Amino acid sequence: MGLRQERLADEIRDLLAGCFLGNQMRDPRLEGVTITHVKVSADLQLATVYFRLYNQEHKDQAKTGLERSKSFLRKHLAQNLKLRRVPELRFFYDESVEHGSRIEALLDQIKN
C-alpha cells in the first residue's frame, strides 16, 4: 500500500471512529462498534472497513446497521475529506484477535 493510501486509510479510520464516539449514530445495533482498521484500494475508490464489538454475538446485527448507515458515513467523510470522490465503503468483522488466539493455543499445544 502506497503512502497516500495509508494516509487516507488512517484518516478515514479516524473520521469513522469519531462518528461512534459522539453519539452521532442513533442505531442501537451499532452500540459498542469500534473501527479497527481501514484498507483503501490503489485507485482510492474502495475502502474496506474492519470493525470489532464488545459483544461478539451481535456482529451480524452490527454489520447490518453499518450497511444501513453507509450513506450517512460517506456523507460525513465527504464533508471532512478533500477528495473528488469519496470511496465506497465495505464492512467486515475483524477476526484477527480470534485468529491470533487460535494460533497461540496451537503453539501451546505443540510446546506441551
Per-residue pLDDT tens digits for 58-90: 889 999 999 999 999 999 999 999 889 999 999
> Within 10 A of 27 (CB to CB), how many other CB atoms are there?
15
Q: Supply the pLDDT for residue 27.
A: 85
* Cell matching residue 48: 474496506
| Distance from C-alpha of 76 to C-alpha of 5, rounded to nearest angstrom | 19
| Distance from C-alpha of 54 to C-alpha of 79, rounded to nearest angstrom | 29
Strand partners, 51: 35, 93
| Distance from C-alpha of 77 to C-alpha of 82, rounded to nearest angstrom | 9
**In the chain, % of residues over pLDDT 90:** 54
| Distance from C-alpha of 81 to C-alpha of 13, rounded to nearest angstrom | 12
CATH classification (class only), 3-111: alpha beta
> Domain segments of the chain: what residues?
3-111
Q: Supply the pLDDT for residue 63.
A: 92
Q: Supply the pLDDT for residue 105.
A: 80
Q: Supply the pLDDT for residue 36.
A: 93
Sites in the chain below the pLDDT cut of 70: none
